[in-house]
Chain A
């Protein structure tokens, strides 16, 4: 039995959905993309071209909910299904689009560049806890026009895992789909075996921007999975009540799914988000707050009740350092997400409210992710009798069970063996190995991972085609060369 956290009873869940449908009629959804408005109008929605507000009747939304896939997969480079969207599968990926990275020596939050992203990709690639890569930081050593697609380029060169990404404009989303198609062997193959999913964000409250709705339409038509990242900000950009924010989230997602399914029925899309409460002291968005986790857990429950795949942003922290606060907020968040059965939980590695990525935090968070994944495996029945069969020949002595064959056979199934980031040593042992704190151990682990990493062997012709494609875009953006990469020399 997979343990589940359910914050809503059936009645409350029903009321959320009902009020979300009401919100789509009054005040309606502001849709700033003309094509999305005409799709909605053709389907029977009431469009005010002056205010751009669309009143979306329930039957259009219900129809979209009938065509949206209940389940789909993301595939790795080799074409194996590796990430399952749908059901109660629980998977994790690093937080995305950081601006800075934590310098582990100086503790500065430095503006991220190519080498920083590559370092994070290598670490995420080597940790089995992360089911997918993300395009984790924006590289500031390339022109702005390339910021979104260049991240994808680096992930494609340094990883084989599925990818959670996103485009920053209506133009670059096409380029990014083309890049993925190069490795997939054409757009049709990409549609069949998508490697990446694109985050698409509505703007709270109840707005689908030109950019957001445009990308929904493009992705739907390309058959490349879209992940709605709705961001109610409880008390500022959405109602202060957690339930009010969950309801707004539902209205934003339902309207997004409707636009998406009208553009191409049957294309895959995910009920996701990055909500937060609004911190009334600092005006920030605390992703480590328990109430943020409660909004996530609840909206995931609503999405599941509609049969939809789910995503959330959890496992991040407001802390600026890899310290106690970072550990407790990230661990609690990962556990809430896992217990809520959320299919993709993004946020690992992030400090400073999703602004700063840290490889050292990624290796530490991996331990929290492992704990959360162990938790959702639940209590397993391995043996015919639960206990009695273990007592034959036991002489009331401690240590007897250590000699049993079953112990050797089963201990790894029952216990997750943490890496050396987690200290379970004796006082003496801890002292003798250098009296290190978590951060110091994490730094050592990152160094070990980086030393052992080898760039995956990829099809050289495709690599070069990808490079040529990105270089061409770079030259159009006004730079002659892409940054030099240590492990990749295009020919």
Chain B
């Protein structure tokens, strides 16, 4: 019975169908299935599948985004049940995401946020045009493992360095790792500003984030 349901759950994520994902999550609660197992044996399988398909060039960004959204919707239904059990889904890590000050581009960053949370990270997305002190402040507030910064403009990518310098000054690294991304970001730049990780796309970003929290194999 539950095997069949797990399959349907994975499929709802693959189809990017939030409504069905929510319905199945509710059904699992009625059936008194363990919420954690529902997530890991059901929904996560769908996310992983879409991620692999995307990596292989068989799935595309709209499918990835919709899968991420469906995952979020399902987890939102199951999380209160986990709390009731006094359990929490073991999170991969905590991430603060932001587009740097002076830059309002957010498509890529939002995509990274969706994929990170679908992959089990707790993500706080501060949005766009965020100054260094706000980014660092939030990271300290939630005890973040990773700060992820996006910049699309050559004129604003320098802000990524400012945040890193500030973190170094405060002695907050290597406790807080820094990932950067955005169209003008090159490996040279990443090395120059001494960021910890960089990826060209959202799936790559999940891989890097897992490495940075020492959970590359999960």
Q: A236: CB under 8 A from chain B?
A: yes
Instruction: Tell whether, in the assembled complex, residue A237 and residue B107 are in contact, meaning their CB atoms are under 8 Å apart.
Output: yes
Instruction: Tell whether, in the assembled complex, residue B202 and residue A99 are in contact, meaning their CB atoms are under 8 Å apart.
Output: no
- Scoring A residues 474 to 488 as 1 if CB is less than 8 Å from chain B, else 0, what string do you get? 000000000000000
Q: Using CB atoms, name the residue of chain A closest to B192.
A: A111
Of B62, B154, B188, which is in contact with the most chain A CB atoms at under 10 Å from its CB?
B154
Interface size class of A (residues with CB under 8 A): 20 to 34
Do A138 and B154 contact each other (CB < 8 Å), given the known contacts A209-B104, A280-B61? yes
Q: Which of A111, A147, A209, A355 contacts B188 (CB 8 A)?
A: A111
Question: Top 8 nearest A-B pairs by Cβ distance?
Answer: A280-B60, A280-B61, A99-B154, A236-B107, A168-B155, A99-B184, A138-B154, A203-B104
CA distance A281 to B154 in the complex (A): 23
Chain A residues numbered 276-312 whose CB sits less than 8 Å from any CB in chain B? 278, 280-284
Other than the given A144-B158, A283-B107, A283-B108, 4 more pairs (CB < 8 A) read A100-B186, A138-B155, A147-B155, A283-B111
Of A109, A144, A203, A281, which is in contact with the most chain B CB atoms at under 10 Å from its CB?
A281
Q: Using CB atoms, name the residue of chain B closest to A207.
A: B104
- Scoring B residues 23 to 36 as 1 if CB is less than 8 Å from chain A, else 0, what string do you get? 00000000000000
Q: B83: CB under 8 A from chain A?
A: no
Q: Which of B57, B111, B155, B186 contacts A281 (CB 8 A)?
A: B57
Q: Using CB atoms, name the residue of chain A closest to B189.
A: A111
Q: How many residues does chain B have at the interface if contact means C-beta atoms less than 8 Å apart? A: 18
Tally of A-B Cβ pairs under 8 angstroms: 40
30 A–B pairs (Cβ distance < 8 Å), ordered by A:
A97-B154, A99-B154, A100-B186, A111-B188, A138-B154, A144-B155, A144-B158, A147-B154, A147-B155, A168-B155, A203-B104, A207-B104, A209-B104, A233-B107, A236-B107, A237-B107, A278-B61, A278-B107, A281-B57, A281-B60, A281-B61, A283-B61, A283-B107, A283-B108, A283-B111, A283-B201, A283-B202, A284-B183, A355-B183, A355-B184
Q: How many Å from the CB of B152 to the closest CB on chain A?
A: 10
**Residues on the A chain within 8 Å of B202, using CB:** 283
- Scoring B residues 65 to 77 as 1 if CB is less than 8 Å from chain A, else 0, what string do you get? 0000000000000
Q: A235: CB under 8 A from chain B?
A: yes
Q: Using CB atoms, name the residue of chain A closest to B58.
A: A281
- Scoring B residues 188 to 218 as 1 if CB is less than 8 Å from chain A, else 0, what string do you get? 1000000000001110000000000000000
**Residues on the A chain within 8 Å of B111, using CB:** 283
Of B61, B158, B184, which is in contact with the most chain A CB atoms at under 10 Å from its CB?
B61
- Scoring B residues 162 to 205 as 1 if CB is less than 8 Å from chain A, else 0, what string do you get? 00000000000000000000011010100000000000111000
Chain A residues numbered 298-354 whose CB sits less than 8 Å from any CB in chain B? 353
**Residues on the A chain within 8 Å of B183, using CB:** 284, 353, 355
Q: How many Å from the CB of B207 to the closest CB on chain A?
A: 16
- Which residues of B line the A interface, CB within 8 A? 57, 60-62, 104, 107-108, 111, 154-155, 158, 183-184, 186, 188, 200-202
Q: How many Å from the CB of A292 to the closest CB on chain B?
A: 16
- Which residues of A line the B interface, CB within 8 A? 97, 99-100, 109, 111, 138, 144, 147, 168, 203, 207, 209, 233, 235-237, 278, 280-284, 353, 355
**Residues on the A chain within 8 Å of B186, using CB:** 100, 109
CA distance A235 to B63 in the complex (A): 12
**Residues on the B chain within 8 Å of A284, using CB:** 183
Instruction: Tell whether, in the assembled complex, residue A282 and residue B201 are in contact, meaning their CB atoms are under 8 Å apart.
Output: yes
CA distance A108 to B155 in the complex (A): 21
Q: How many Å from the CB of A106 to the closest CB on chain B?
A: 13
CA distance A243 to B183 in the complex (A): 26
CA distance A138 to B111 in the complex (A): 28
CA distance A138 to B154 in the complex (A): 9
**Residues on the B chain within 8 Å of A355, using CB:** 183-184
CA distance A99 to B151 in the complex (A): 14
Q: Using CB atoms, name the residue of chain A closest to B64.
A: A280
Of A209, A235, A236, which is in contact with the most chain B CB atoms at under 10 Å from its CB?
A236
CA distance A283 to B158 in the complex (A): 22
**Residues on the B chain within 8 Å of A235, using CB:** 62
CA distance A99 to B62 in the complex (A): 29
**Residues on the A chain within 8 Å of B57, using CB:** 281
Q: How many Å from the CB of B69 to the closest CB on chain A?
A: 15
CA distance A138 to B155 in the complex (A): 9
CA distance A100 to B185 in the complex (A): 11
CA distance A353 to B188 in the complex (A): 19
CA distance A278 to B60 in the complex (A): 11
Instruction: Tell whether, in the assembled complex, residue A280 and residue B104 are in contact, meaning their CB atoms are under 8 Å apart.
Output: no
**Residues on the B chain within 8 Å of A353, using CB:** 183
**Residues on the B chain within 8 Å of A97, using CB:** 154
**Residues on the B chain within 8 Å of A237, using CB:** 107
**Residues on the B chain within 8 Å of A100, using CB:** 186
Of A109, A111, A203, A237, which is in contact with the most chain B CB atoms at under 10 Å from its CB?
A111
Q: Using CB atoms, name the residue of chain B closest to A97.
A: B154
Q: How many Å from the CB of B154 to the closest CB on chain A?
A: 5
Q: How many Å from the CB of B153 to the closest CB on chain A?
A: 8
Q: How many Å from the CB of B218 to the closest CB on chain A?
A: 25
CA distance A280 to B62 in the complex (A): 7
Of A168, A207, A209, A353, which is in contact with the most chain B CB atoms at under 10 Å from its CB?
A168
Of B57, B62, B155, which is in contact with the most chain A CB atoms at under 10 Å from its CB?
B155
CA distance A207 to B186 in the complex (A): 29
CA distance A365 to B97 in the complex (A): 40
Q: How many Å from the CB of A51 to the closest CB on chain B?
A: 15
CA distance A203 to B184 in the complex (A): 18
Of A99, A207, A209, A353, which is in contact with the most chain B CB atoms at under 10 Å from its CB?
A99
Q: How many Å from the CB of A317 to the closest CB on chain B?
A: 15
Q: How many Å from the CB of A248 to the closest CB on chain B?
A: 15
CA distance A145 to B107 in the complex (A): 27
**Residues on the B chain within 8 Å of A111, using CB:** 188
**Residues on the B chain within 8 Å of A233, using CB:** 107
CA distance A280 to B202 in the complex (A): 12
Q: Using CB atoms, name the residue of chain B closest to A147.
A: B155
CA distance A235 to B202 in the complex (A): 17
